[in-house]
Amino acid sequence: DYNNDSALDALGQNLENLSKQGINVIILEVDYNFAFKSHPELRRGTNPITPSGAQRFAALCRKFNIRLIPEFQSLGHQSWKAETFPLLSVYPAFDLTPGAFPNNDGIYCREWDPLNPEVWRVIFQLMDEIIDAFRADAFHAGLDEVFLLGSELSPSTKGKDSGVVFAKAVNEIYFHLVRK
């Protein structure tokens, strides 16, 4: 897990060797392991990646011609096993299936509600901070393993075509990251 400055610094010490072995891209899963200024309440852990740690690591990647692509799991992957990640813990109204699946039993992982415009306001602030800190020219938005769209337990998407709802989420992210 490279979820704090010390871990990134340790990985940074191996970048020259990785580069010599032909590694030219690193996708770094950041998620909530970042010292967000816009939403400090969404930081995961007590020692997340700081903007200065991100800049240091990104500079080393550039030095060794390794393209760094930060990742933020979007829509799905908002929990793992019994742990619900910060967005849905802090803002339970953003949960696609509020009140369902206590302790995350019976699901692969939780999802945020892509039809709630407040979700996008918060998420885009987080994405922008990560992109800026790493000075990234690409961004990995996750978006895999989404299973609850259209669920009977989802007040906003119940009865809706899950493919259409998913496409809307993809387009929201595309518009923000590419067009805006």
Supply the DSSP string of the chain, one letter for each residue.
Answer: ---SHHHHHHHHTTHHHHHHTT--EEEEE-TT-B--SS-GGG--SSSPBPHHHHHHHHHHHHHTT-EEEEEEEESS-SEETTEEPHHHHH-GGGBSSTT-SGGGTTSS---B-TT-HHHHHHHHHHHHHHHHHHT-S--EEE------TT-TT-TTTTTS-HHHHHHHHHHHHHIIIII-
Greatest alpha-carbon pair distance for the chain in Å reads 53
The letter for the amino acid at 153 is: L
- Give the pLDDT confidence score for residue 178 in this predicted structure: 95
Residue with tokens 């949960």: 95
> Residue 180 has what pLDDT?
83
User: What was the pLDDT predicted at 166?
Assistant: 98
User: What is the per-residue pLDDT for 63?
Assistant: 98
Query: Could you tell me whether strands 67-74 and 25-29 are parallel, antiparallel, or unpaired per DSSP bridges?
Result: parallel
DSSP bridge partners of 69? 27
- In 3D, which of 71, 73, 38, 171 has the Cα closest to residue 115? 171
Q: Are 139 and 70 in contact (CB under 8 A)?
A: yes
* List of the chain residues with pLDDT < 70: none
**What confidence score (pLDDT) does residue 90 get?**
98
Q: Residue 87's pLDDT is what?
A: 98
State the pLDDT at residue 34.
98
Residue 34: C-alpha distances to residues 132, 160, 177 (Å): 12, 34, 19
Dist. CA 57–CA 164, nearest whole Å: 38
Output the six-digit token pair for 44: 């995961």
